[in-house]
Amino acid sequence: MKKIVYVFLLVFLSFVIINVKAATCTDEERAKQVEIAKNIKITYQHLGGVDFDLVITNLSKNMHLIDDVKSNFIYGTGETLTLHHYYAGVYTFRVFPDTGVCKNQRVYDLMIQIPRYNSYADTNYCKENPDFKYCDPWYKGYISLDAFSKGITEYEKEKEEKNKEELDKSFKTGLKDFYEDNKMYILGGGIALTLVIAGIAIYIMRDRRDIKI
C-alpha cells in the first residue's frame, strides 16, 4: 500500500513540475514579448493651454498598459487609442501580455514626457511679438511675472536700437546707390562747378589788375 501511495505521489509531483515549467515565462518568451512591446508608440497632442491628449498606436489586442500616474488600464484593440486630459510631466506605462506563459507579467516600460506649456504665449503681446524669447510656447524654465515684464522692457530697447541701426544702414545704402546711379552727373557737375569758380577767380584777378593800372 505504501508503495502505491509513493508511486502516486511521484507521478503527481512530476505532473506538477512539468506544468510549472510549461507555464513559466522563459527568457526566450519574454524577449519575444519585449520585441512586440517595442512597436507600441505613444505621442502627445497639444489641445491648447495646458491640456494634452496622448495617442497610442500599435498596441496589440493581446496586451494592455497600466498608467503608473493615473493607474488606468488600457487594453489593446489593434486600433489607435486616444487618452484625454494629460498635463506636463513624465508618464510611465507598464506593458503586460494578456495571453501566453507571460500573461499579466510586466515585460516592458514605455515613457513619455509632456513639456510644460508657456501660458505667456497666449498673451496679446506675444501674439504681436512671437520672436520674444519669453513668448516661446515651449520655453524651458519658470518665468515669473516680474521677469516677463523686465524682459519686455529689454526687448523693446533692443528693438529700438536695431531699428536705428537699420535706418542708418538704409540711409547709407541709399546715398551709395544714389551716387552710383548718378556718378557721371555728379562728377560732371563737380567739374563744371570747378570751372565756373576758376573762371570767376580769374575774372576777379584780372579786374583787380586793371584797377591798379
Q: 32-84: per-residue pLDDT in tens? A: 999 999 999 999 999 999 999 999 999 999 999 999 988 889 999 989 999 99
Residue 110 is predicted with a pLDDT of 97
Residue 145 is predicted with a pLDDT of 94
Residues in the chain predicted with pLDDT less than 50, given as ranges, are 5-22
Residue 174 is predicted with a pLDDT of 63
| Cβ 112 vs Cβ 54: under 8 Å | yes
All three cell numbers of 106: 510586466
Residue 9 is predicted with a pLDDT of 45
Residue 138 is predicted with a pLDDT of 94
Could you tell me the domains of the chain?
2-117 (2.60.40)
Cα–Cα distance between 199 and 204 in angstroms, integer? Answer: 9
23-32, long-range: CB < 8 A, 24+ apart:
23/101, 24/101, 25/101, 25/102, 25/105, 26/101, 29/100, 29/101, 29/102, 30/102, 30/105, 30/107
> To 5 degrees, how large is the angle CA 72–CA 76–CA 77?
130
DSSP letter (8 states) at residue 189: H
Cα–Cα distance between 73 and 71 in angstroms, integer? Answer: 7
CB count within 10 Å of CB 152 equals: 16
Cα–Cα distance between 71 and 88 in angstroms, integer? Answer: 17
**What residues pair up with 110 in beta bridges, in sequence order?**
93
CA dihedral 15, 18, 22, 23 (to 10 degrees): 60
Residue 131 is predicted with a pLDDT of 94
Whole-angstrom CA distances from 31 to 35, 106, 110 are 6, 12, 16
Residue 5 is predicted with a pLDDT of 43
Residue 31 is predicted with a pLDDT of 95
Whole-angstrom CA distances from 72 to 9, 63, 78, 162 are 45, 14, 18, 53
